Structure 1
Amino acid sequence: MPPPLEQPPPPPSLSPAETLDDITQLLTKLLPATLSITSFASRWQVLRSKLASLKSMISELSDSSHWSDNPLVLALLPNLYATLVRVQTLCHQCCDCSFTPGKLLMQSDLDMCAGWLSKQIHDLDLLLRSGVLRQSTAIVLSHPSINSSKEDLSLFVKDLFTRLQIGGTEFKKKALDSLIQLLSEDDKAAVLVSKDGDVGYLISLLDVNNVNPFVREQAVLAVSMLASINEQSRKCVFEEGALGPLLRIIDSGSMPLKEKAALALECITADPENAWAVSAYGGVSILVELCKSGSVVAQSHAIGVIRNVSTNEDVRTALAEEGAIPMLLQFLVSGDASVQEKAANCVAILASSSEYLRSLLLREKGLHRLLQLLNELSNSDTMEHVLRAIFSLSGTESAFRILSSSTAFIVQVADLIKHGNLILQHISASLLAKLSISENNKRAISGCMGPLVKLMESAKPDGLQEVAANALVSLLAVRSNRKELVRDEKSVMRLVQMLDPRNDFVSKKFPIAVVSAIMAGGSQGCRKRLLAAGAYGHLQRLVEMEVVGAKKALQRLSGNRLTNIFTRTWRE
């Protein structure tokens, strides 16, 4: 029995024009010859269809002005010619009544020839559709400069991906080198690559079984760059199915590849619409494992991915089941600032999501870790995440008691109200308004009352005026604090201006509540300073406007003597 058919070797060296002529002649002979074959009719019908398509493409190729200059064509034509010679041999054998090959062997040989032709037709079609054969080699191969036109860049991208798909290993290496260089030099190129390049094929190179290690490594880098440059290229990478291959690389690749793949995933999952898919691919356990055993760079990106996907309820459940919470808390006290920030952000998200996760965080001494980190921080972004997490945890009874009785924490929060940015001031004021603070601690932080009055003037962010007023009212429960606040002329003037009915930036209920708190003890000194600043007239107009709380505040401010006069006037 003859051996099975093998991939045919290319013919002896011929010029490109001679090879193309020989291919054309072979096709001209083979197409009519296959019509008379009666054995294996269905398989020959498939081959005849492919030969007809190939003839049309060869005709189009010969009409292209620069086909003979393209190295991909020069590599493709000899292999195509060799395949057609094999088809011709099989054609003669099937027409020869005296030739009796094994049926299964002939079927296999015909199927293999059909497979070779399919691959070569695909490559030739790719070349023709790319448009690179209509341009000179000098234009196609030269790396575009920063001032190149959009047309030249588009043509370069098409040629690059054509080489990537059709060429052998060396072509792939050079194409990937050019792609990486292009993306590193010009961020706008990523849009062209996602539009004119075959990103799906690039992603297929991430598979360990498809290519040699160097090509795979460069492909991972290129995909990572596309995912991190802009929204359009990132969306393209996700839609072309990169998530699964990237997770497989994180699961089993080398550490440098894991770092690049994790970066790509962090960028992809920054879009909430993509984040859910990580759980669908079973990626939570893979990411948790990378956090435990990866390099610092890989850990940072892995925690970034976990932070991005933790907004999904299913992912949060999976994180708890995979034991991610102790790991995240450990990263809060690690030495890397980027890791700390992402871990704190993730903990804040988990703490705000459910009572179950808050209990897990507290069980793992999460509050202790957060308070420890707050004492050491200088990064305002990380501090924001830590404060948000602490605020969420303060909703539990045990954490509420610990925070309310911690003088060091309360002093630190008051200091942030005085010196932090607006976001930190907002969260800190929310904590002061929420906690049950002792009188001694309220006296200790009286210096933040002036900044709280100033925060009451801020229209943004929403809710800041209310928490600032509530925190201030809480501190004014202490007599000495009331006296200290009215001695601050700037704060008193701000408060009175907020009472002015013409001031639309502040809801009147907040300054009214503060004035009522100041006058709760009936201090004559406090009354004189507020009256001198003009609070009485504004409150009187607010009473006439029937603003809630204004009447009570005016009565406290007026005292017994003025109350009788005001009551008589009001009745009249």
Structure 2
Amino acid sequence: MNPTATTSPPPQTPPAASSPQALLDLITNLLSLLLLSPLTVKSFTGRWQVIQSKLTSLHSSLSSLSSSSHWSDNPLVHSLLPSLLSTLQRLSSLSDHCTLGSFSGGKLRMQSDLDMASASLSHSLHDLDLLLRSGVLHQSNAIVLSHPGPCSSKEDLTFFIRDLFARLQIGGVEFKTKALESLIQLLAEDEKSASVVAKEGNVGYLIHLLDFNHSNNHNSIREHATTAVSVLTSANDESRKCVFEEGGLGPLLRIVETGSMSLKEKAAAAVEAITADPENAWAVSAYGGVSVLIEACRSGSLVTQAHAVGAISNVAIVEDIRNSLAEEGAVPVVIQVLVSGSSSAQDKAANCIAILASSGEYFCALIVQERGLQRLMHLIQEVSNSDTLEHVLRALSSLSGLDPSARFLSSSTAFIMQLGEIVNHGNIILQQVAASLLARLSISDGNKRAIASCMGSLVKLMESPKPVGLQESAAMALVSLLTVRSNRKELVRDEKSVTRLVQMLDPKNEVVNCKKFPVMVAAAMVGGGSSHGCRKRMVAAGAHHHLQRLTEMKVAGANKALQRLSGNRIINTIFGKSWRE
């Protein structure tokens, strides 16, 4: 036997209770011998040169480890050193065989054994370097790390997160599970921690734990990791961006497609949060996620369905994805959610329909073809949530651009009454959409009379400069309602409304900069065979004087309104001949 072979000790099994220092001493002694092995081996010299490079790096890492002030206190070291010692013992035995040139199992078996041992050495070296880089070996509280409270410093929080991710990447199932539980607890208790996790933690490794195909990803670990990623995506823009940039969207979509119900719900929530950023929405198509989300809407739990339809609503703003949604049958699925989904899902489905309907006649026709108009009309009678109501009204407003839809909406007395009620009692956004619909639809005189009570609210809305377009919508709705003579009489009897309207005509009134809208309403009030009383009240309130000024300023429609107002003897009746001269 070659005498050089005797320099490698036989494999030793350290006592279970060996101290970290005793294990490190055994590893250091064995490593010193192995560093000389490549000088004597006769077989597979190329592989041993690679191994020697790794052993040299290991020697440097172990020196850093031993110089760390609290390395022996860290529980991760306790699990890492025995594994490392076992790998070095295996390499020592292989070194003996390669030095003697004796391969009882053949050269192919020896090649395989060397490659496996080299890979195991790389894994241990990776874990050791990761532990050193984390900085946790220099902390005195590394045995039992206390959970940082709300008043903890940023330094304490940073150290806790680094230690947590070190345990997550190096430890076994127990370490990983406890680390994930701590991470979830931290994110739930402190919203600010998500930004620190995104900056100091290894979010890429966390996403790696979502992989179904990885043999080391235990089901409980995958579920905890999915929860953590879902919370991160919902926490803030920074952590959501980090998850997306680390490639989280693809694995999350796979979970939505093939995971358990619990995993699907969490993953769908994460996908919805990621796609809320328009810059991320395009990637759904790249990962083949359109069909996945549609199927989740069709057959997922109520929770999954709500998040999936929310994600579809988010990505519908991208033209290419919008076309894919149509091609893959998203429209009937989303419309069905309007009927059978939870209140949250109905809200998001209504928003999605509103986005699609605003995209043009093609989508409007698809929605009408799938009886979406009737579904929306039914929902508007039941919904109490103002956001959902806004989505429904916006969808109906877009659909009213189709003549058949406009006729259907115009003929529904219940719908017209609902619009009048919204103008009177809705928030300002709802009032604007309702007013625009009243202005656009061809409403019967009977229905116009039925909603006359909303005219005062429309006049008041004309005083609001925001949102943009509100004054025009309110004015156009009023002009439509004032085509009915009884409505003109009713509005002119409303002193507050008349006063408001005349004040808006005043050129000095800067609240209403665009005077053509109150001019339009004033002309409608005194036009169409209005009674002598209507003109008399408007003149008495000062409308004539303001319209004269507006005519001089060449405001559109002012001259016509002035002619209607003064086209009889009412001026003489009120002010006398001297005033006219």
* TM tier relative to shorter chain: over 0.9
Letter in 2 for 1:524: H
Q: 360, 378, 395: which one pairs with 1:354?
A: 360
Percentage identity across aligned positions? Answer: 65
- CA shift, 1:473, in A, is 0.9
**Residue in structure 2 matched with residue 128 of structure 1 by the alignment:** 132
TM-score (norm 2): 0.92
Q: How does 1:115-514 map to 2 (within 5 A)?
A: 115-137=119-141, 141-210=145-214, 211-334=217-340, 336-506=342-512, 507-514=514-521
Q: Find the aligned partners of 1:556 and 1:138 in 2 and give their Cα distance.
A: 88
**Residue in structure 2 matched with residue 527 of structure 1 by the alignment:** 535
The superposition leaves residues 335-361 of structure 1 with CA deviations (integer Å, 9 ceiling, x where unpaired) of 621121111111111111121211111
Compare 106-115 and 555-564 and name the one that shifted more. Answer: 555-564
- CA shift, 1:219, in A, is 1.1
- CA shift, 1:140, in A, is 5.8
SS at match of 1:162: helix
The superposition leaves residues 56-99 of structure 1 with CA deviations (integer Å, 9 ceiling, x where unpaired) of 00000010111111111111112112211222222232222566
Q: RMSD of the TM alignment (CA)?
A: 2.1
Task: State whether structure 2 residue 98 is matched by structure 1 residue 90.
Answer: no
Q: 1:529 to 1:139 in 2, by over 3 A?
A: farther
Q: Contact 1:457–1:498 (CA<8 Å) still a contact in 2?
A: yes
- CA shift, 1:491, in A, is 0.6
**Residue in structure 2 matched with residue 549 of structure 1 by the alignment:** 557
Q: Find the aligned partners of 1:98 and 1:163 in 2 and give their Cα distance.
A: 41
SS at match of 1:472: helix
Q: Contact 2:302–2:341 (CA<8 Å) still a contact in 1?
A: no
Q: Contact 1:351–1:358 (CA<8 Å) still a contact in 2?
A: yes
SS at match of 1:503: coil
Q: Find the aligned partners of 1:99 and 1:473 in 2 and give their Cα distance.
A: 100
TM-score (norm 1): 0.94
Letter in 2 for 1:304: G
Q: Find the aligned partners of 2:277 and 2:352 in 1 and give their Cα distance.
A: 16
Compare 239-248 and 26-35 and name the one that shifted more. Answer: 26-35
Q: Contact 1:182–1:189 (CA<8 Å) still a contact in 2?
A: yes
Q: 1:563 to 1:492 in 2, by over 3 A?
A: closer
Q: Find the aligned partners of 1:279 and 1:335 in 2 and give their Cα distance.
A: 25
Q: Find the aligned partners of 1:20 and 1:300 in 2 and give their Cα distance.
A: 54
Q: 1:99 to 1:537 in 2, by over 3 A?
A: closer
Q: Find the aligned partners of 1:127 and 1:16 in 2 and give their Cα distance.
A: 15
Letter in 1 for 2:474: A
Q: Contact 1:11–1:82 (CA<8 Å) still a contact in 2?
A: no
Q: How does 1:103-118 map to 2 (within 5 A)?
A: 103-118=107-122
Compare 413-422 and 541-550 and name the one that shifted more. Answer: 541-550
Q: Find the aligned partners of 2:13 and 2:489 in 1 and give their Cα distance.
A: 99
Q: Contact 1:10–1:79 (CA<8 Å) still a contact in 2?
A: no
Q: 1:339 to 1:99 in 2, by over 3 A?
A: closer
Q: 1:34 to 1:217 in 2, by over 3 A?
A: same
Letter in 1 for 2:379: L
Compare 522-531 and 174-183 and name the one that shifted more. Answer: 522-531
Q: 1:139 to 1:77 in 2, by over 3 A?
A: closer
Q: Find the aligned partners of 1:539 and 1:107 in 2 and give their Cα distance.
A: 100
Q: Find the aligned partners of 1:176 and 1:320 in 2 and give their Cα distance.
A: 40
- CA shift, 1:174, in A, is 1.1
Q: Contact 1:522–1:556 (CA<8 Å) still a contact in 2?
A: no
Q: 1:99 to 1:535 in 2, by over 3 A?
A: closer
The superposition leaves residues 386-444 of structure 1 with CA deviations (integer Å, 9 ceiling, x where unpaired) of 11111111111110111122222112111111111111110011011111122222222
Compare 35-44 and 378-387 and name the one that shifted more. Answer: 35-44
Q: Contact 2:294–2:330 (CA<8 Å) still a contact in 1?
A: yes
SS at match of 1:148: coil
**Residue in structure 2 matched with residue 54 of structure 1 by the alignment:** 58
- CA shift, 1:266, in A, is 1.2
SS at match of 2:340: coil
**Residue in structure 2 matched with residue 74 of structure 1 by the alignment:** 78
Compare 532-541 and 450-459 and name the one that shifted more. Answer: 532-541
The superposition leaves residues 511-547 of structure 1 with CA deviations (integer Å, 9 ceiling, x where unpaired) of 1111111121253211111111111121122222222
Letter in 1 for 2:245: E
Q: Contact 1:140–1:156 (CA<8 Å) still a contact in 2?
A: no
SS at match of 2:526: helix
Letter in 1 for 2:276: A
- CA shift, 1:315, in A, is 2.3
Q: Find the aligned partners of 2:482 and 2:116 in 1 and give their Cα distance.
A: 89
Letter in 1 for 2:178: K
Q: 38, 42, 46: which one pairs with 2:46?
A: 42
The superposition leaves residues 115-136 of structure 1 with CA deviations (integer Å, 9 ceiling, x where unpaired) of 1111011000000000000011
Task: State whether structure 2 residue 566 is matched by structure 1 residue 558.
Answer: yes
Q: 1:9 to 1:542 in 2, by over 3 A?
A: farther
Q: Contact 1:555–1:563 (CA<8 Å) still a contact in 2?
A: no
- CA shift, 1:371, in A, is 0.8
Compare 490-499 and 410-419 and name the one that shifted more. Answer: 410-419
- CA shift, 1:497, in A, is 0.5
- CA shift, 1:10, in A, is 5.6
- CA shift, 1:334, in A, is 2.6
Q: Contact 2:136–2:142 (CA<8 Å) still a contact in 1?
A: no
Letter in 2 for 1:327: V
